Amino acid sequence: SHDLSLFVMHGRANVHLARGVAEVLGIEPVSCTAEDFPDGEIHVRLLESVRGGDVFIVQPVDPPIAQNLLELMLLSDAVRREGAFRVTAVIPYLGYSRQDRRSCSGEPVGARVIADILNSGFDRLITVDLHKQSLEGFFAIPVEHLSAVSLLAQTLQKNLPDNPVLVAPDLGAAKLVNQYAEILDLPVAYLYKVRKSGKEVSVRSIVGNINGFSPILVDDMISTGGTMMKGVEALLAGHCLPDVTLVASHGLFVGKAMENLEKLPLKKVIVTDSISQENRPLEMAIEVAGLQLLIAEIITRLHE
């Protein structure tokens, strides 16, 4: 495939990241337009040829999830019809990953529905820190599952408080937190979170020593910030220091996130740019670790 031309293109979900990736690769993103029609339909149009090319479309499936997903599928259809040889979806954040199983009867398996849609439009998928490793099995196409852990751990290293303890805000994050612990050689504590509803969680108990420590809570994503907020409240009640760091691969910051997080004694919030952090009205000290090198590297490897 050495003689295939390499193309990077993007929809509207994360232009900044796509440009960053293209810049590392030393190419310009494919010129195309995407706009909303008055009735809500999305219109995309390719303005240059990708015939015979190896095309990578960068578009996280983040809110507005349905639009971003549909726009991605429209782009895929457009480049196929223009004769692209191979089309790879670069989806640094994949929405619906948390619907990887049915928690009660009458529910769909949302992640499977999304996977089937993507299977139909792409030859391959590149993604970052899926909610669960096993989601790869939902796809019929090959999945390159990248980890942002070492990138985030490096960023964290530069922002470490004096007496740090890594904290898993729920048991689902335990493995992830241990990866950080190994890289940074730090102690770990675990919170036992119970979910009352999609919006409400509470912490039942703390495992490990946090008294007098500055907690660093690590999770795969911050959505409404409810998990982090409840976690920090429980840690403060257990006499941790009011010097809190949050780390997550994906920063969605939806719903009451800003309100929830603003109440906390946050020193730093560290996320990647899997979801665009441009134009976020962030009052808090946010540090964004760019994924462009990681993604450019895998694109180069797959292309060659």
Catalytic residues: 193
Question: Binding of ligand R5P at residue 222 (CB under 6 A)?
Answer: yes
* Interaxial angle between packed helices 110-119 and 65-81, expressed in degrees from 0 to 180 and rounded to the nearest 10: 20
Could you give the C-alpha distances from 226 to 12, 153, 231, in angstroms and in order? 28, 23, 8
Here the tokens at position 46 are: 């390719």
Q: Which stretch binds ligand R5P (CB under 6 A): 24-32, 156-164, 183-191, 214-222?
A: 214-222
- 252 burial level (CB within 10 Å; 0-12, 13-18, 19+): buried
- Closest to ligand R5P by CB, 10 vs 230, is 230
Here the tokens at position 218 are: 């690590």
Q: Min. distance of Cβ 220 from ligand R5P in angstroms? A: 5
Q: Min. distance of Cβ 229 from ligand R5P in angstroms? A: 8
Q: Which stretch binds ligand R5P (CB under 6 A): 58-66, 104-112, 153-161, 216-224?
A: 216-224
* List of E strands, the chain: 6-10, 32-36, 42-46, 54-58, 86-91, 124-128, 143-146, 164-168, 188-195, 201-207, 214-222, 244-251, 266-272, 286-289
- Closest to ligand R5P by CB, 53 vs 225, is 225
Question: Binding of ligand R5P at residue 221 (CB under 6 A)?
Answer: yes
- Closest to ligand R5P by CB, 17 vs 221, is 221
User: What is the DSSP-derived secondary structure letter of residue 5?
Assistant: P
Considering only residues 154 to 193 of the shown chain, the ones binding ligand R5P according to CB under 6 A are: 170, 172
- Closest to ligand R5P by CB, 77 vs 287, is 287
Q: Kindly report the backbone phi and psi dihedral angles of residue 247, in degrees, each rounded to the nearest multiple of 5, phi listed first.
A: -130, 130
Q: Which stretch binds ligand R5P (CB under 6 A): 19-27, 88-96, 204-212, 215-223?
A: 215-223
Q: What is the dihedral of CA 57, 63, 67, 68, to 10 degrees?
A: 0
Binder of ligand R5P out of 59, 76, 223, 272 (CB under 6 A): 223
Considering only residues 224 to 253 of the shown chain, the ones binding ligand R5P according to CB under 6 A are: 224-227
Q: Min. distance of Cβ 30 from ligand R5P in angstroms? A: 34
Q: Min. distance of Cβ 31 from ligand R5P in angstroms? A: 37
Q: Are strands 244-251 and 266-272 parallel, antiparallel or unpaired?
A: parallel
Neighbours of 42 (CB within 10 A): 17
Q: Min. distance of Cβ 221 from ligand R5P in angstroms? A: 5
Q: Are strands 188-195 and 201-207 parallel, antiparallel or unpaired?
A: antiparallel
Q: Min. distance of Cβ 98 from ligand R5P in angstroms? A: 6
- Closest to ligand R5P by CB, 69 vs 191, is 191
Task: State the residues that interact with ligand R5P by CB under 6 A.
Answer: 98, 170, 172, 219-227
